């Protein structure tokens, strides 16, 4: 199944039509909106700022690092390594962002069809009932105006449509779903499981949107462990070939690439009338008419687009009568620890690739009432026999040989290869007043579009949580009989907390709420102020949860798309 983008991004006036829906962004949220709305009969225009990219053709799956003199190292437009599928990064040439003095935030942008779904970790966790009502439990942040039961039917449908492996473990606040069989753990994962059991850390089968059986016409996974490069057999979830390709088959999807949206236009009735965008290949200004506008440009890009859509009727930006657009920006907390495991020295050679992600993980397992921080985290694991590439066994002096050179060193590399594990924590940040984005008063990007300025501050909630992660991971390495590679980072180093934006889970900038004075969109992700304007990316999230956001972005996008289709049928929009 292939997806071809129009060779030209120009829409000649003669061909220009009034689309039913214009969607901005082709990642998870935009892809799902395109899938649902084209199937509902709408003529959809999808604007993507980046260029075409098709995982079934453009992926460098199965390429060995030695086939490149770079050996897989990162490049400017591939910060996660030259084979990674995501074109984009934290620093895009000509597309800067700024940071308020004294704060630090890194903003990842994908510039390609399918967005970040091309390389994401496929960790596909449902939010649980507690996650929608966290304020009711601990008084912090805000509750969502909807609950788990509102989204559960959509999670179910997404499980079945896209395909996910896992197991129903009946754990509090970690709802299961409709799963394909999970792949059994790797060698080191079995060791981790035993250590976790001894420490009473819950450890279960991963839940990844990688198909372990043929599913809806797609081939089963072939266990090369390279999901992040894009899958040539389409055996994991990407927006491009799981959502956009079927959308295109309806004949009702027009995909325009290299289209950098910068303004949602409004008519004299205060309704959205379309989108102004720049053809990034020619610099030409374009306009697309649409009866309904769906923003799925990513949380911060959508906020930027709304804030830049100023008009006499909406002087503070569109859908911003509350002043909340850009506020309550959150990212997932993160830190990691790696260690050397003596028992794993002199490995038994075998193919340990498995799927492109961990086969086991640890969902949050402790009651926060017993702890000095309010919200949880989950643990991801890694290690073992990875393909030798750039950075191979860096820091060999940290292993028992202490470094050296010559034949004994060469033998050390062989013996210690694969004898390491790592743990990475991914936790819930609570929205705070000091973390937000706004339009920079002075700077514009190369297209002349005003850029975002970020403000960022972690609080004690996050620092204490990350300290707990560090302590837990060190205890796990110790329980495995191993030695960590680095000393516990102290408070001056934030206990090793990743910088804001580095975990690439930005959420909350167009938050959902029942009260139009305190939120941007309503419980259907419709702008309070503009009844034909919707948001289907991570912007509407009221809280982060200790789960990766994509499955919830997809569920919300499916639900919102269904709402749009129903409202169109009723003739209200």
Bridge partners, residue 418, by sequence = none
Residue 344 binds to another protein (criterion: CB under 8 A): yes
- Closest to another protein by CB, 147 vs 450, is 147
98, 103, 167, 368: residue in contact with another protein (rule CB under 8 A)? 167
Question: Residue 1 burial by CB count (10 A; 0-12/13-18/19+): exposed, middle or buried?
Answer: middle
Beta bridge partners of residue 240, listed in sequence order:
none
Q: What is the 3-state secondary structure (H, E, C) of 249-318?
A: HCCCEEEECCEEEEEEEECCCCCEEEEEEEECCCCCEEEEEEEEEEECCCHHHHHHHHHCCCCCCCCCCC
Quote the least distance from Cβ 363 to another protein, whole Å: 16
Q: How far is the CB of 368 from another protein (least distance, A)?
A: 26
Binding pattern for the stretch 111-150 against another protein, x by CB under 8 A and - elsewhere: ----------------------------------------
Contact 486, 337 (CB under 8 A): yes
Min separation Cβ 290 and another protein, Å: 31
Tokens 């299961």 identify what position? 176
Which CB, 175 or 334, lies closer to another protein? 175
Instruction: Work out how close the CB of 407 gets to another protein at its nearest, in angstroms, rounded to a whole number.
Output: 5
220 binds another protein (CB under 8 A): yes
Among 14, 348, 442, 487, binds another protein (CB under 8 A): 348
Contact between residue 536 and residue 525 where contact means Cβ atoms under 8 Å apart? yes
- Measured at the alpha carbon of residue 162, what is the angle toward residues 161 and 166, in degrees to the nearest 5? 110
Number of residues that bind another protein (CB under 8 A): 95
> What binding mask, one character per residue, do residues 63-92 give for another protein by CB under 8 A, x or -?
xxxxxxxxxxx-xxxx---x----x-----
Contact call for residues 376 and 464 (beta carbons, < 8 A): no
The one among 15, 93, 351, 572 contacting another protein by CB under 8 A: 351
- Asked if residue 57 binds another protein (CB under 8 A), the reply is yes
Binding region for another protein (CB under 8 A) out of 212-220, 241-249, 452-460, 517-525? 212-220
Burial of 307 (0-12, 13-18, 19+ CB in 10 A): buried
Check binding of 198 to another protein (CB under 8 A): no
CA-to-CA dists, residue 573 to 219, 290, 313, 344, 353, angstroms: 40, 11, 20, 62, 50
Helix (H, G, I), strand (E, B) or coil at 360: strand
3-state secondary structure of 452: strand
What single string gives the DSSP state of each residue in 133-198? SHHHHHS-S---SS-HHHHHHHHHHHHHHH--B-----BTTB-----BPPPPPPHHHHHHHHHHHH
Residue of the chain from 24, 32, 33, 61 that contacts another protein (CB under 8 A): 61
Nearer to another protein (CB atom), residue 182 or residue 540: 182
Strand partners, 512: 521
Q: State which of residues 27, 30, 225, 501 lies at the interface with another protein (CB under 8 A).
A: 225
What are the tokens at 254?
């027009």
Which is nearer to another protein, 370 or 405 (by Cβ)? Answer: 405
| Piece in contact with another protein (CB under 8 A), picked from 140-148, 171-179, 277-285, 516-524 | 171-179
Look up tokens 């804001």; give the residue: 500
Stretch that binds another protein, among 92-100, 270-278, 344-352, 526-534 (CB under 8 A): 344-352
Residues 455-494 as x/- pattern, contact with another protein by CB under 8 A = ----------------------------------------
Helix (H) or strand (E) holding 553: helix 550-570
Nearer to another protein among residue 174 and residue 526 (C-beta): 174
Q: Are 521 and 510 in contact (CB under 8 A)?
A: yes
Q: List the one residue from 103, 173, 202, 233 that touches another protein (CB under 8 A).
A: 233
Minimum separation from the CB atom of position 115 to another protein (A): 17
Cβ nearer to another protein, comparing 177 with 374 = 177
User: Which of 347, 446, 499, 518 forms a contact with another protein (CB under 8 A)?
Assistant: 347
- CA distances (Å), origin 438, targets 409, 449, 508: 53, 13, 13
CB 509 within 8 A of CB 329: yes
| List 6, 181, 283, 448, residue binding another protein (CB under 8 A) | 181
Question: Does residue 186 belong to the site contacting another protein (CB under 8 A)?
Answer: yes
C-alpha distances in Å from residue 162, one per residue of 69, 206, 227, 294: 36, 16, 15, 22
Alpha carbon distances (Å) from 76 to 91, 113, 410: 8, 19, 32
Residues 495-554 touching another protein, rule: CB under 8 A, are none
H-helix or E-strand spanning residue 149:
helix 148-162
Q: How far is the CB of 410 from another protein (least distance, A)?
A: 5
Asked if 172 is part of the footprint of another protein (rule: CB under 8 A), the reply reads no
CB 387 to another protein: min, Å: 5
Cβ-based nearer residue to another protein, 352 or 529:
352
**Pick 73 or 100: Cβ nearer another protein:** 73
Backbone phi, then psi, for 227, in 5-degree steps?
Answer: -55, -35
**Contacts to another protein from residues 383-422, by CB under 8 A:** 385, 387-397, 402-407, 409-411, 413-414, 417
Nearest-10 crossing angle of helices 550-570, 148-162 = 100
What is the Cα–Cα distance from 38 to 23, expressed in whole angstroms? 11
Q: Which stretch in 163-171, 426-434, 488-496, 564-572 sits in contact with another protein by CB under 8 A?
A: 163-171
């Amino acid at each position: 199944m292939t997806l071809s983008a129009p060779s030209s991004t120009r829409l000649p006036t003669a061909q220009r039509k009034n689309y039913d829906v214009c969607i901005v962004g082709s990642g998870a949220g935009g892809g799902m909106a395109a899938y649902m709305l084209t199937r509902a009969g709408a003529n959809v225009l999808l604007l993507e700022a980046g260029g075409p990219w098709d995982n079934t053709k453009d992926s460098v799956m199965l390429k060995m690092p030695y086939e490149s003199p770079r050996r897989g190292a990162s490049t400017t437009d591939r910060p996660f390594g030259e084979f990674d599928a995501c074109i984009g990064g934290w620093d895009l040439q000509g597309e800067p962002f700024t940071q308020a003095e004294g704060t630090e935030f890194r903003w990842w942008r994908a510039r390609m069809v399918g967005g970040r779904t091309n390389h994401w970790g496929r960790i596909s966790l449902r939010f649980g009932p507690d996650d929608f009502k966290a304020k009711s439990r601990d008084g912090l942040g805000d509750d969502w105006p909807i609950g788990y039961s509102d989204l559960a039917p959509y999670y179910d449908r997404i499980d079945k449509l896209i395909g996910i492996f896992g197991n129903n473990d009946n754990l509090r606040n970690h709802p299961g779903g409709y799963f394909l069989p999970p792949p059994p753990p790797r060698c080191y994962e079995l060791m981790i499981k035993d250590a976790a059991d001894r420490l009473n850390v819950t450890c279960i089968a991963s839940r990844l949107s990688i198909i372990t059986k043929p599913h809806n016409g797609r081939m089963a996974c072939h266990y090369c462990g390279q999901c992040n490069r894009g899958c040539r057999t389409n055996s994991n979830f990407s927006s491009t070939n799981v959502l956009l390709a079927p959308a295109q088959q309806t004949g009702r999807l027009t995909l325009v690439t290299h289209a950098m949206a910068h303004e949602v236009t409004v008519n004299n009735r205060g309704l959205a009338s379309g989108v102004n965008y720049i053809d990034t290949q020619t610099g030409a200004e374009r306009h697309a008419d649409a009866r309904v506008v769906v923003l799925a440009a990513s949380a911060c890009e959508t906020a930027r687009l709304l804030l830049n859509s100023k008009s006499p009727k909406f002087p503070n930006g569109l859908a911003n009568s509350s002043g909340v657009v850009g506020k309550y920006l959150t990212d997932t907390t993160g830190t990691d620890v790696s260690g050397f495991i003596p028992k794993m020295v002199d490995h038994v050679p075998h193919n340990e690739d498995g799927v492109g992600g961990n086969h086991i993980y640890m969902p949050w397992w402790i009651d926060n009432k017993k702890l000095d921080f309010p919200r949880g985290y989950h643990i991801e694991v890694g290690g073992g026999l990875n393909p030798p590439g750039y950075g191979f066994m860096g820091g060999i002096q940290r292993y028992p040989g202490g470094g050296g050179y010559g034949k004994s060193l060469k033998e050390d590399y062989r013996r210690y290869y694969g004898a390491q594990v790592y743990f990475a924590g991914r936790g819930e940040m609570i929205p705070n007043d000091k973390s937000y984005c706004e339009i920079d008063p002075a700077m514009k990007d190369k297209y002349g579009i005003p850029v975002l300025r970020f403000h960022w501050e972690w609080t004690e909630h996050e620092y204490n949580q990350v300290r707990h992660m560090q302590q837990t991971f060190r205890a796990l390495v110790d329980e495995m009989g191993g030695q960590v590679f680095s000393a516990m980072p102290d408070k001056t180093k934030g206990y090793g907390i990743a910088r804001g934006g580095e975990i690439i889970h930005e959420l909350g900038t167009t938050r959902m709420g029942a009260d139009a004075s305190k939120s941007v969109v309503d419980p259907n992700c419709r702008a309070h102020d503009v009844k034909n304007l919707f948001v289907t990316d991570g912007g509407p999230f009221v809280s982060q949860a200790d789960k990766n956001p994509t499955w919830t972005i997809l569920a919300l996008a499916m639900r919102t798309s269904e709402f749009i289709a129903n409202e169109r049928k009723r003739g209200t929009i």
